[in-house]
Structure 1
Amino acid sequence: MGILDEMLEGKKTIVILGHVNPDGDCIGSCLGLYNYLKENYEGLEVSVYLEKIGVKFSFLSGFEDVHTEYDDTKTFDLCITSDASDVPRLGVFAPYRETAKDTFCVDHHITNKGMCRVNVIESWASSASEVLFRLLDKEKISKAVAECLYTGIAHDTGIFKFSNTSRQTMEIAGFLMEKGIDFPKIIDNSFFAKTYGQAKLHGRAVLDSVRILDNRCVYTVVTTDELREYGCTVKATDGIVDQLRIIEGVEIAFLLYQTGNPGEYKVSLRTNSAVDVSRIAQSFGGGGHVKAAGCTMTGEPQEIVEKISGKIREQWEELK
């Protein structure tokens, strides 16, 4: 009996949670698990609670079943968290973890210290979707589940080009492809597709970017006014920091975007160097991976940039 079967033993009601502002891996892993449980465990009542997710993921089975509002009348036998590195990242749905009879965490963030009774955390894995794949019975993975997991892996590896992509990652992707999924369409529609407004927002963000620290770093700021101007939500900022990261000569890129709360900004960090951006994010209450991390900070943009710059300089000194 695998660990997933052990966790499900004697349970009737299951809730699956991901992190706030869910990305492709969070959505793919949560819906992949949802479909797998629905298809293979008769009589199990399974629910997924996530913040509202983009319509570009509507091709995934279970998309319409996702609950986006917290219901304080609900309690569950088992809460499974996927792709969330700590309790605050569960957002308004965190109480479901507190009130559940048992808890199980599936994750790949190096900053996750174990937020549930039982934790499967593989910080070396490309994605939560990859970690989840290893917990499933391969003979029971359907095309619908494969679509979800492939989507998650593709998104968190930058379509298999980030350093977190391993031979095993590629072998898993190959297995999922053999389930008959339309992988070119998955990548085009969920990764590359942009609205006209989003394309303009990205162009504006790159145009307004600033190089600092001897041009070794670059950052940009997206305001709520700009999001409103281009008819975008914060989800439209996905991909901006990666555009900055590939600028010639840049070692570290970061994006600040307003959350809507006074003076509050979400910060996304990426690195091509030996600098560990998860350490930077952690120092400001966030987390993530060595090469990609994020946090929430308050203050004027220039103040936030100075604080992040200071942490970058500290690591540069250590690496000398």
Structure 2
Amino acid sequence: MNKLAPELKGVKSVAIAGHIRPDGDCVGSCMAIYNYICDNFPNIEADVYLEEIQNVFSFIKNTDNIISVFDSDEEYDLCIVVDCSDLNRLGDAKKYFETAKKTICIDHHISNQSYADINYIIPDASSTCELVYGLLEESCIDKAIAEAIYTGMVHDTGVFQYTNTSEKTMNIAGKLMSKGIEFSKIIDDTFNKKSYVQNQILGRALLESILLLDGKCIVSGLTRKEMVFYGVTHQDFDGIVSQLRVTEGVECAIFLYETGNHEFKVSLRSSDKVDVSRIAYYFGGGGHVRAAGCTMAGTMHDVINNLTSQIELQLLQEKICD
């Protein structure tokens, strides 16, 4: 697939969906495609299915049209899935993929197993939004679409500081800036700014963190009881694991929070020597070499022990190779 437009010929209805707990890249890529279709294919009925998004992304055009209740049984000519490495990560939106006449997956996760009819998967890309940019005609990318794409790129590159940032990434960012977007405001409002309670929970996560594996691994976590005490949800945890990772001497950071009885959502970040996508995949998750995640069962102690054993294996292999 070189461009998205040819795949839309003869299509009357399109469902667009992304992964559960949508982040900036997921929201940005969904809305960029949705706005592109609305602007250039008025005869196509398009719907976006996403779980409730964070308020910081509400400035993106047409986010108020997102459908977050998946109770309809509508069947679509085409279902476009973005930023989703595994079909099950679509959550309740999975049924629209399964009943669609044709499916497309656009993704940059190395763990993606190409589950759609058409798969546009490039693991080296900084973000799914970067891929979406290449699939749209540049003449059709207006300010609103540029805002959506730029937002996703900012969030998946940590404001262009992660190793997935390439020369191509920066060139695309420059072209998006030329569309008149308020690029510094997007970074500040959606990435840097934190609420008071977010700063509280970040402070607690840092204060309660522990160093393992001779200081090469740092871990912090929250129980459901603690989340209730602070009145926080998973949407308030953005940036915690990345802040843990920049601790001097740390090769891998783990942040986990309880989602159910003896069930934890795990976020992993690495600096240089650990491929966290391998670890996440081993435990049924996925992601990228430097950023990945999974859901694990057991006590917090059990989960941490299982994760660090896999991290230690990679560190030992790295030491042997050196």
Tell me whether 1:151 sits opposite 2:147 in the alignment: no
Post-superposition shift, 1:229? 2.1
Q: CA RMSD in A?
A: 1.1
| Cα distance in 2, alignment partners of residues 314 and 139 from structure 1 | 49
**Partner amino acid, structure 1, of 2:88:** P
2:111 alignment counterpart: 111
Displacement after TM superposition at 1:317 (Å): 2.8
What's the offset of the Cα at 1:224?
A: 2.1
Superposed displacement of residue 258, structure 1: 1.1
Q: Once the two structures are superposed, what CA deviation does each residue of 1:69-122 show, in whole Å capped at 9, x if it has no partner?
A: 112421111000000001011011111110000000000000001020000001
* TM-aligned CA deviation for residue 303 of structure 1: 0.6
| Counterpart mapping for 1:49-68 below 5 A | 49-68=49-68
Quote the sequence identity (%). 48
Instruction: Out of 156-165 and 219-228, give the one that drifted further.
Output: 219-228
Q: Deviations over 1:256-311 (max 9, x none)?
A: 1111x211100000000221100000000000000000000011111111101111
Q: What is aligned with 2:201?
A: 201
Q: Does 1:305 align with 2:272?
A: no
- 1:53 to partner: Cα distance: 0.5
SS in structure 2 at match of 1:174: helix
Question: Shift of the alpha carbon at 1:222?
Answer: 1.5
The equivalent residue for 2:98 is: 98
How is 1:162-311 mapped onto 2 (pairs within 5 angstroms)? 162-259=162-259, 261-311=260-310
Q: Determine helix, strand or coil for the equivalent of 1:114.
A: coil
Secondary structure of 1:269 counterpart: strand
How many Å separate the matches in 2 of 1:277 and 1:73?
A: 37
Q: Does the CA contact (< 8 Å) of 1:201 and 1:226 recur in 2?
A: no
Gaps of 5+ in 1: none
User: Given the two structures, how large is their TM-score scaled by the length of structure 1?
Assistant: 0.98
CA distance in 2, matches of 1:294, 1:50: 19
Confirm or deny: 8 A CA contact 1:57 1:190 kept in the other structure.
yes
- The structure-2 alpha-carbon separation of the partners of 1:2 and 1:281, relative to structure 1 and needing over 3 Å to count, comes to closer
Q: CA deviation at 1:56?
A: 0.9
1:86 corresponds to 2:54: no
State the partner residue of 1:73.
Answer: 73
Aligned positions, number: 319
Alignment partners' CA distance in 2, 1:267 and 1:3:
35
CA contact (8 A) 1:29 1:82 kept: yes
Instruction: Answer whether contact 1:15 1:49 (CA < 8 A) is retained.
Output: yes
Do 1:198 and 1:230's aligned partners in 2 also have CA atoms closer than 8 Å? no
Structure 1 counterpart of 2:8: 8
Query: What SS does the aligned partner of 1:154 have?
Result: helix
**TM-score scaled by length of structure 2:** 0.97
Query: Is the CA contact (8 Å cut-off) linking 1:147 and 1:181 kept in structure 2?
Result: yes
**Corresponding residue SS for 1:29:** helix
CA distance, structure 2, for counterparts of residue 140 and residue 254 of structure 1: 41
Alignment partners' CA distance in 2, 1:135 and 1:310: 41
Deviations 1:153-197 (A, max 9, x none): 000000000000000000000000000001111111111111111
Counterpart of 1:136, as a letter, is: L
Unaligned 5+ residue runs, structure 2? none
How far did residue 316 of structure 1 move?
A: 2.1
Structure 1 residue 2 displacement after superposition: 4.4
Is 1:41 the counterpart of 2:63? The answer is no
2:87 and 2:181 map into 1 onto residues whose CA distance is 33
Contact 2:223 2:258 in 1 (8 A): yes
* 2:220 maps to amino acid: T
Please give the alpha-carbon distance, in whole angstroms, between the structure 2 residues aligned to 1:211 and 1:2: 46
Secondary structure in 2 aligned to 1:134?
helix
Could you tell me which amino acid in structure 1 is paired with residue 70 of structure 2?
A: Y
Render the CA deviation track for 1:244-263: whole Å, top value 9, x for unaligned: 0001111100111111x211
- Structure 2 counterpart of 1:89, one-letter code: R
Tell which deviates more after alignment, 67-76 or 156-165: 67-76
- Offset from partner CA, 1:109-159 (integer Å, 9 cap, x none): 000010200000010000000011000000110100000000000000000
Q: Distance in 2 between matches of 1:75 and 1:193?
A: 40
Counterpart amino acid of residue 66 in structure 1: I
DSSP-derived class of the 2:174 partner: helix
